[in-house]
Chain A
Amino acid sequence: MNQSVQSHTHNSEYLKQVIKPSSGWVGIDFRELWRYRELLGFLAQRDIKVRYKQSVLGILWAVIQPLVNTLVFTVLFGLLLGSGKQPSAEGTPYFLSTYAAMLPWGIFATALTTAGNSLVANANLIKKVYFPRLITPIVPMVTAMIDFAIQFVILIVIAVGYMIWGGYELKVSWELLTIPLFLLLALLAALGVSLWVASLNALYRDVRFILPFVVQIGKFVTPVVYTTASVIKPENFGDRTDLVHLIYSLNPMVGVIEGFRWALLGASPFPWVEIIMAVPLTLLVLIGGMYYFRRMERIFVDLV
């Protein structure tokens, strides 16, 4: 008798879970996501460790790609437009201005591509064990941050190099502290789009072929190898310049990249229009994506 009372009190501590069919739109259980944060960490660790296994240059690849990319455009535009006349942020060497944009674009592109395929890539896990499925597209956001950190160090080295040998004046100011905010915006935008892409990818594998293509085009639609001001200007659009600017800013990465240049290089004015467009749009895509993902989640296991 005594014992049953004892177990009574003990039992009340048991975690209680109820499994039943969900219907329609389901919310996101943030508390549960938080409980699974360690798994998120382990999966990110796995992806980072595995990525550069058995490669001689290892993590250097994270640096080589944007560097070579920037170099190619510097030379190409230099030949086309004349050295020093490439479309760079005001008072900034083109190489620096472009490399600074390559970083946020790079993490966006990598995060989007990896996260977009994440459900299919982790099919073996999804079929065998439960965890909040939202973790799979979030993992690439974490790994992208690691890449970013390494690339950022190189960016500082390049900037200092320009200061010493190029006579370029790097303005160290409070604006540098806003960089994490733009990074966050880029990751949220990548996550938002990824949630849609990953869900659709489970349904239609066409997405896997479309995605790299879209990312490639996106790089040129976004002011990575040029600046917004160098393209969206009255010479090109006349009276409609402001309208075009507004439409152009629908792409949240425009805000991220111009914001990044503003914070880091301090050359251009703060991109108000871009940021005002980017923030609510990103949140809209993200929240919509989360709900869509949650809705599709229950059939993923039968599709991947």
Chain B
Amino acid sequence: MADDIAIHVENLGKRYQLGQQLHGNLRELSNHVLGAPLRWAKSLAGTKSAQAQRDAADDILWAIRNISFDVKRGEVLGVIGRNGAGKSTLLKILSRIVEPTEGSVTLNGRVGSLLEVGTGFHPELSGKENIFLNGAILGMTRKEINAKLSDIIDFAEIEKFMDTPVKRYSSGMYTRLAFAVAAHMEPEILIVDEVLAVGDYTFQKKCLSKMGEVASEGRTVLLVSHNMASIQNLASTCLVLEEGRLTHVGPTVGAIDRYLAGDQTGQSFDVSETKRAKEDHGRHIRFTRIAPVPAIGNAFRFGDSLEFDISFRVISKQGQVRFGVTITDQADSPIVSTQTHAFECPDISGDTDIVSRVILGKILLAPGHYKLAVSVIEGSLFGGWTSYDLVRPGMDFKVENVSSSDEALHKWSHSSLGFIKAPEAAIEINVQDHSCQS
């Protein structure tokens, strides 16, 4: 292994047995305890081992398999993937919490892993006592903690409460203290799970910059996150995990594209058989498919032009029609509506799908999940109309925040800020000089 490699992972795999009932009944207990010498004797005799039998069973799940990669010293590597892709399993193996089933990991340097902030915090102990306890749990020595104690207290901004039991802390104080300890770990290799998702935004930023510092000091960082913005901020290279396999390794931007493209679920929505609200809907013109056309995958990036392919069939020809489009939230409340210009209903009846692309343009929808409801109408949504078909609730789609520059979107809250970010407002400042008037 080359000297500049901090983490070397080779052919790593972790298998779980599904539905494994270990704490079962009395017979299992006695089998387990009393059967041990028997199993041992059998294994000596070379009988088919329990392991081999287990392999044959089909209720096994490889959480990750055939994972190989190297992390160079000083590199910040992001790990991205959907839920269940195996990120946590990989991290737990690297942190030595679970043992791999096959393969190996070589770590060159002192490892600190942070799968949770405040691990081992005890509510009855004071802030200071918890700093020492948590520090020791994270692998710091008493000497190190003593040396950094005042830094940690400053970072957490809770000097006054150092001798108060943490059970009396507000949740914000608690999180800040927990983070402060973690941020002062100085391992050569730092393994971090999705821990930045807690705490208020300013504090998060403080932690991110602290972590950026860590990386610039030449320490190796392995970071798992769902937050594409923080991944893009920190990581230079990313791994993409899909269903336990390593599908992509490369520069962060490309990896994020790959990650977004990997999400194929619900990419198009067959609405030909969906039940309509009104009986005569879909009798003359009927929608068959609605598919988002983002640059990549199912998710639009914030700021992308929102485009959809909408397919329909004409059962009996009508005159001038247009599409009405409404974007709703998950609860089906409308957010924004528009319509296309009127067009002549095509004279292609029968089983032929007519595909049309509806381009809504750059509606600045905040990151989140939405639905697209469509209707085909005669008249205008904003005047009077009759509708031939209406699909509502509509098709799910989402908008992801991948830009790292626009910090305002990092913690966009639908409940307090709404769903749409307007373009940056202009401002004119008038200084009124009262002294001149007098």
Residues of A within 8 A of B (CB): 7-8, 11-12, 14-22, 38-39, 41-43, 45-46, 49-50, 53-54, 124-131, 200, 203-206, 298-299, 301-303
Contact = CB atoms under 8 A, between A and B. Distances in A.
B124 A50 contact: yes
Contacts of B106: 16-19
Given A19-B106, A20-B100, 16 more contacts: A16-B106, A17-B111, A20-B103, A20-B104, A20-B105, A49-B124, A50-B125, A53-B165, A124-B120, A129-B97, A129-B113, A129-B120, A130-B96, A301-B98, A302-B98, A303-B23
A129 B95 contact: yes
B103 A11 contact: no
A19 B97 contact: no
Contact of B101 (A21, A125, A303): A21
A34 B180 CA distance: 27
A21 B107 CA distance: 15
A7 B3 contact: yes
A1 to B, nearest CB: 14
A128 B139 CA distance: 13
A42 B132 contact: yes
Contacts of B23: 203-205, 303
Contacts of A7: 3-4, 73
Of A15, A49, A130, which is in contact with the most chain B CB atoms at under 10 Å from its CB? A130
29 contacts: A7-B4, A8-B3, A11-B108, A14-B188, A16-B106, A17-B111, A18-B104, A18-B105, A18-B106, A19-B96, A19-B106, A20-B100, A21-B99, A38-B141, A43-B133, A46-B122, A46-B129, A49-B125, A50-B124, A126-B97, A128-B115, A129-B97, A130-B97, A130-B113, A203-B29, A204-B29, A205-B23, A299-B22, A301-B97
Contacts of A17: 106-107, 111
Contacts of A54: 124
Contact of B124 (A45, A53, A127): A53
B359 interface: no
A129 B137 contact: yes
B234 interface: no
Nearest to B29: A204
Contacts of A14: 108-110, 188
B59 interface: no
A16 B107 CA distance: 6
Nearest to A51: B124
A61 to B, nearest CB: 16
B116 interface: yes
B119 interface: yes
B100 A19 contact: yes
Contacts of A43: 133
A273 B3 CA distance: 59
B129 A49 contact: yes
A200 B142 CA distance: 33
Contacts of A41: 136
A104 to B, nearest CB: 29
Contacts of A299: 22
